Amino acid sequence: MTATQRISVAGNAHNVRVPKAGEMVAGQLRRQIVTGELAEGASLPSETALMEQFGVSRPTLREAFRILESEQIIRIRRGARGGAYVVVPDPAAAARYAGTLLQYRGTTLADVYEARARLESAGVGILATKRTATDLRRIDACLAEGAQLLDDPDGFADSHLLVFPQLLMELAGNQTMAVLSEMLYSIVKSHNTNYIRQHRNDVNVNSGLRTTFRSHQKAAALIRDKQSEKAIVHWRKHVNRISENMITDPTETVLDVLS
């Protein structure tokens, strides 16, 4: 069977790509990993056992391994105790790929922040309508930790600046939105780190971080009071303000930050 076959549908010929055997094996192993049938850190069966299980040759099996390794959901260890081991899917891997794609397209940081503002404000609105007592306790704990870092700009940037919005997106409960946010955070965090390092002695940086913290506190209060619409508007303005303050060059691209 070739990788591409021609079939006739309603009298018209179409090219239909038939998955290669290695891709099919990778797909079955991937399913076992993401469903938890193969747990993190578990070793896959031996090559001989897998070849027998799937009825494929060693080159086909190793092609499947290469696919899964490139997706960073297995790791190949060499040597006497070697073999293939399961790795839990890491959002950072997806973020790196997304970052590369955005670099290729010449995406500006302003564009990234706009996407962040729209995505996060929607998540904050969802959270405000459904928050629980447990959610509020986690938000309060995060704010308490952030308050301890206000005199340490680097520490605040590392341990609170994006940790707080990431927590809000997690608590909102939409997994797709949370994963997309994590992909954006890897880019935004690099930009924040660079900006604060370059402006370490600028008094406006410390003032800006304190303003950001107060904005986080206000968002928490609106979420607590279930003021969904006000929370959405507040968070959109909050992210837009950060964008205006931290993007000094409107033409700056993702490539400039991640390269």
Predicted confidence (pLDDT) at residue 88 exceeds the cutoff of 50:
yes
In this prediction, residue 254 has a pLDDT band, given cuts at 50, 70 and 90, of confident
CATH number for 55: 1.10.10.10
In this prediction, residue 219 has a pLDDT band, given cuts at 50, 70 and 90, of very high
Amino acid identity for residue 226 in this structure: K
Average pLDDT, the chain: 87
Could you tell me the CA-to-CA distances from 53 to 49, 77, 127, 250 in Å, in that order?
A: 6, 22, 46, 56
**Separation between Cα atoms, residue 123 and residue 165, nearest integer Å:** 9
Report if residue 2 sits inside a domain: no
Higher pLDDT, 41 or 171: 171
Q: Averaged over 108-133, what is the pLDDT? A: 96
Residue-wise pLDDT for 95-105, tens only, equals: 777 888 888 89
Regarding whether 128 and 245 lie in a shared domain, the answer is: yes
Examine the fold and report which residue of 32, 55, 86 is the final residue of a domain before the chain moves on.
Answer: 86
Regarding whether 222 and 166 lie in a shared domain, the answer is: yes
What pLDDT, on the 0 to 100 scale, is given for residue 2? 43
Regarding whether 167 and 50 lie in a shared domain, the answer is: no
Range of the domain at 163: 92-258
Examine the fold and report which residue of 44, 70, 86 is the final residue of a domain before the chain moves on.
Answer: 86
Looking at 132-136, 139-143, 182-186, which range is the least confident one? Answer: 182-186
**Separation between Cα atoms, residue 238 and residue 219, nearest integer Å:** 9
Half-sphere exposure of 51 (CA within 13 A, CB side): 10
Report if residue 141 sits inside a domain: yes
Examine the fold and report which residue of 86, 115, 144 is the final residue of a domain before the chain moves on.
Answer: 86
Regarding whether 114 and 42 lie in a shared domain, the answer is: no
Regarding whether 98 and 218 lie in a shared domain, the answer is: yes
Regarding whether 251 and 172 lie in a shared domain, the answer is: yes
Amino acid identity for residue 26 in this structure: A
The number of domains in the chain is 2
CATH number for 248: 1.20.120.530
**Separation between Cα atoms, residue 259 and residue 239, nearest integer Å:** 24
User: Could you tell me where the DSSP H helices lie in the chain?
Assistant: 21-34, 47-54, 58-70, 91-104, 109-130, 133-147, 153-156, 163-172, 175-198, 203-224, 228-246, 254-258
Termini Cα distance of the chain = 43
Kindly report the pTM of this predicted structure: 0.73
